Amino acid sequence: MKFFTAVQLGLALAFTYGANAQGTCSTPATISGYSDAKLPNPFLFNDGTPVQTAADWTCRRSQIAALIQGYEAGTLPPAPYANSNMAQQNDNSSRGVGLFYNLYGKNHSASAMTAWVWGVSRIIDALEANPSASINTSKIAVTGCSRDGKGALMAGAFEPRIALTIPQESGSGGDACWRLSLYEQNSGSVVQTATEIVQENVWFSTNFANYVNNLTVLPIDHHLLLAMVAPRGLISFENTDYVWLSPLSSFGCETAAHTVYTALGVPQNHGFEQIGGHAHCAWPANLTASLDAFFNKFLLDENVSTDEWSTNNVFNNVTWTASDWIDWTTPTLS
């Protein structure tokens, strides 16, 4: 019965990752009456009270996890397979196809993203149950590019046993924020937005389509998904040669998420590199030093600098003004 124990543990991790200082942590899947055109404040609980300590952040992280599942990703339930075997993602006809849905039913609310997270967690379960494999499960990294970059970020956010998360060119649905991508589009840039992405594939739950035409009602955006990784290692790589990857949105979203790492006293645990000059999902040699630094620190325990944060500011004539989107002051959470 160890498998079912692991499944139950996965569900517990998703919804009760921590508690606030009062020992309780309310984690509803939705919030009625919410409206904010700016990026939602990471440092306010659902009821509007401030996040003031690291223990508070643990509870706030649980709230964010529940809201992302409720609005966007579908429920993450508590056999290692390839991504498309677990949850097919060829196009919209792929909804409910894959081994995950064979176990939990075709109409399960989980999207392809949450099914992939489930698969990553089950792999880690198996490694922990088999120490003879000689794999240090406290030193696991997850990575992928494009659609797999979106999945890597989701896995790193929801699976706290992952030490280092490395999304590459994940764009909208990854390290870009829905609100900022819409702003790019409204400013004349041809980018991938929420309204388009729900028509393209089954990466997100069917419920998300109810909100894509009115993003202000979402109490989440992807800066909060990125922030769920904190304080663990996170470095994202983006490519400004491909406009549809929403370059301004990715930079702005990462900037907003960085406030959480700063609040927790570990800004160096979050890196971002945004350049051009290479094909989509090709690896440019001039990024290897940044990647190696994060590998050396989080997987090899080396005392190295991970101060890796840069952009080429190629935003296709769209202007980034932080105060238009980030209206919070970064606290010190201790």
What pTM value is reported for the model? 0.87
Write the pLDDT tens digit of every residue in 63-81.
999 999 999 999 887 644 7
Q: Is residue 332 part of a domain?
A: no
What confidence score (pLDDT) does residue 333 get? Answer: 98
Residue 99 burial (C-beta neighbours within 10 Å; 0-12, 13-18, 19+) = middle
Task: Report yes or no on 334 lying in a domain.
Answer: no
Residue 294 lies in a domain: yes
Residue 203 within any structural domain of the chain: yes
Is position 330 within any domain? no
Q: What is the CA radius of gyration of the chain?
A: 19
Q: Which one of the listed residues 84, 94, 109, 280 is annotated catalytic? A: 280
Average pLDDT, the chain: 89
Considering 146, 172, 205, 249, which one is annotated as catalytic? 146
18 contact partners, CB below 8 Å, separation of at least 6: 25, 55, 58, 59, 61, 62
Residue with tokens 């004349």: 188
User: For residue 119, what pLDDT is reported?
Assistant: 86
Q: Does residue 329 lie within any of the structural domains?
A: no
Phi, psi of 150 (to 5 degrees): -60, -45
pLDDT of res. 116: 84
Q: What is the pLDDT of residue 9?
A: 31
Q: What is the pLDDT of residues 33-48, one digit of tens each?
A: 999 999 999 999 999 9
Does residue 84 lie within any of the structural domains?
yes
Is there a domain that residue 331 lies in?
no
The Cα 247–Cα 184 span in angstroms is 9
Q: What confidence tens digit (pLDDT) does each residue in 203-229 have?
A: 898 999 999 999 999 999 999 999 999
How many domains is the chain built from? 1
Tell me if residue 146 is catalytic.
yes
Phi, psi of 160 (to 5 degrees): -70, -5
Domain ranges, residue 111: 2-33+41-324
Percent of the chain with pLDDT over 70: 87
- Asked if 172 is an active-site residue, the reply is no
Distance CA 121, CA 251 (A): 29
CATH number of the domain that residue 111 is part of: 3.40.50.1820
Q: Which strands sit side by side in the sheet containing 164-168, from one edge to the other?
A: 141-145, 164-168, 233-239, 270-275, 309-311
pLDDT band at 20 (very low <50, low <70, confident <90, very high): very low
